[in-house]
């Protein structure tokens, strides 16, 4: 059993309160907590979890107190270009609403709204669903100039008609950890080590398995994604007419569960530094895992959605006209936008999955660079 002490950087009162909440949950669960539940509390415990308190989170540098940067913060051309696909999807589905999940600082919403206005798209409403109260306040300030067009929702209505956006949303959904040791599969959970006064890993035999058999007999750590797949199922049930686009880092199933990927993909982010230990600085840093896009696509189809396409972020943005926008931009703006499409930056690492309810069409974002064979 490996132990880790509580983070020395966490304010004592907040750390103690979050520790108490998680420890109480551990006690209720018989002394052992599945990692997905631990991850949920670390990120979303009211007022104390990472996404529930007022830290900066999104930004360019550690000096501004931020932990990571996303594509809309890198360049406004990201949202302006994505809006080309949004406008096409609105027209093809005959809808007038956009829904964004996990809107972060509000940068993507601002960029898409500006671009849609410039294209003359008559948008009825842009609704944001975000569990973070502190980020919601930042979004409201940033998007105030759009008036009542922008609204916030705490839950989904029974029926949605429109275009759904999810930029780096699926990676923050809690995952279950599976580890094969000595040929036996275990689920990895969390316990409180009283002697060390810290969190510790504890593995228990399980009937759970990855969706693919892992070739070889070596020890192997990985994740499964029931919550993200359930979320897609919920989208499928609520979406009556429209489309959805999810942009995130991840792989198709064969690459995700490759025998050589034996350490999994779980990663934490704090002050623009990455580490793989979610048991430290609990509540003070982001916890993510790569997305198994095959599982997401299957969940979408099971929920009655059609697949529009799957490709890399680089190809998606180029298909939507990013190169033309860059040609009309300053040298500094072009340098930043290149990070969105270059293979060694975000272009290859991030993928885009498009789905729709109703008759699919040849969506502009997937015109070239098809990766469907990788699902």
Q: Determine contact, residues 259/215, Cβ cutoff 8 Å.
A: yes
Q: Give backbone dihedrals phi and psi of 249, rounded to 5 degrees, phi first.
A: -90, 140
Q: How far apart are CA 352 and CA 293, in angstroms?
A: 9
* pLDDT for the residue 268: 97
* pLDDT for the residue 188: 98
Instruction: Work out the average pLDDT over 199-224.
Output: 97
* pLDDT for the residue 62: 76
Q: What is the DSSP string of 261-327?
A: -TB---EEEETTEEES-TTSSTTTSEEE--EEHHHHHHHHHHTTPEEEEEEEHHHHHHHTTHHHHHH
172: left (phi over 0), alpha (psi -120 to 50) or beta: alpha
Q: Lowest-pLDDT range, 90-104, 119-133, 184-198, 314-328?
A: 119-133
pLDDT tens-digit readout, 250-306: 999 999 999 999 999 999 999 999 999 999 999 999 999 999 999 999 999 999 999
* pLDDT for the residue 8: 40
Is the confidence at residue 99, as pLDDT, over 90?
yes
* pLDDT for the residue 155: 84
* pLDDT for the residue 7: 43
Instruction: Work out the average pLDDT over 97-125.
Output: 96
Instruction: Residue 101: name the closest of 165, 51, 175 by CA.
Output: 165
Give percent above pLDDT 90 in the chain.
Answer: 86
Is the confidence at residue 108, as pLDDT, over 50?
yes
Using alpha carbons only, give the angle 217, 220, 226 rounded to the nearest 5 degrees: 125
pLDDT tens-digit readout, 33-57: 999 999 999 999 999 999 988 777 8
Q: Determine contact, residues 88/58, Cβ cutoff 8 Å.
A: no
Residues shown for the chain: 375
* pLDDT for the residue 1: 52
* pLDDT for the residue 5: 43
Give percent above pLDDT 70 in the chain.
Answer: 96
Is the confidence at residue 134, as pLDDT, over 80?
no
Mean pLDDT, the chain, rounded, equals 93
Q: What is the DSSP letter of 9?
A: T
Q: Give backbone dihedrals phi and psi of 149, rounded to 5 degrees, phi first.
A: -60, -35
Instruction: Work out the average pLDDT over 6-10.
Output: 43
Q: How far apart are CA 335 and CA 32, in angstroms?
A: 48
Q: How confident is the model at residue 13 (pLDDT cuts 50, 70, 90)?
A: low
* pLDDT for the residue 6: 41
Half-sphere exposure of 281 (CA within 13 A, CB side): 16
279: left (phi over 0), alpha (psi -120 to 50) or beta: alpha
* pLDDT for the residue 63: 74
Is the confidence at residue 159, as pLDDT, over 70?
yes
* pLDDT for the residue 11: 53
Better-scored residue on pLDDT, 335 or 55? 335
* pLDDT for the residue 56: 76
């Amino acid at each position: 059993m490996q132990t880790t002490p509580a983070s020395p950087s966490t304010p004592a009162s907040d750390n103690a309160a979050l520790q108490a909440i998680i420890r109480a949950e551990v006690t209720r669960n018989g002394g052992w907590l599945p990692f997905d539940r631990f991850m949920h509390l670390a990120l979303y415990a009211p007022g104390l979890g990472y996404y529930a308190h007022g830290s900066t989170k999104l930004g360019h540098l550690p000096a501004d107190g931020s932990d990571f940067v996303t594509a809309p913060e890198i360049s406004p051309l990201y949202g302006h270009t994505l809006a080309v696909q949004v406008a096409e999807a609105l027209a093809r589905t005959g809808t007038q609403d956009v829904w964004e999940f996990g809107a972060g600082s509000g940068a993507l919403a601002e960029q898409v709204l500006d671009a849609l206005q410039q294209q003359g798209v008559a948008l009825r409403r842009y609704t944001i669903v975000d569990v973070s109260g502190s980020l919601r306040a930042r979004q409201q300030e940033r998007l105030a100039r759009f008036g009542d067009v922008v609204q916030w929702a705490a839950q989904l209505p029974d029926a949605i008609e429109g275009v759904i956006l999810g930029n780096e949303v699926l990676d923050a959904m809690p995952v279950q950890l599976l580890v094969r040791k000595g040929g036996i599969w275990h689920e990895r959970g969390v316990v409180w080590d009283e002697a060390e006064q810290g969190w510790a890993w504890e593995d228990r035999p399980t009937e759970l398995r990855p969706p693919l058999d892992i070739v070889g007999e070596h020890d192997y750590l990985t994740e499964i994604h029931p919550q993200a797949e359930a979320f897609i199922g919920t989208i499928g049930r609520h979406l009556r007419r429209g489309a959805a686009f999810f942009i995130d880092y991840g792989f198709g199933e064969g690459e995700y569960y490759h025998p050589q990927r034996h350490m999994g993909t779980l990663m934490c982010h704090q002050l623009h530094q990455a580490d793989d230990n979610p048991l430290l600085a609990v509540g003070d840093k982001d916890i993510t895992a790569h997305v198994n896009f095959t599982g997401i696509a299957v969940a979408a189809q099971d929920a009655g959605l059609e697949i529009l396409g799957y490709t890399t972020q680089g190809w998606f943005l180029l298909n939507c006209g990013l190169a033309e926008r860059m040609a009309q931009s300053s040298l500094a703006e072009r340098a930043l936008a290149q990070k969105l499409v270059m293979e060694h930056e975000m272009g290859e690492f991030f993928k885009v999955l498009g789905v729709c309810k109703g008759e699919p069409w040849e969506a502009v974002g997937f015109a070239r660079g098809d990766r469907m064979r990788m699902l």
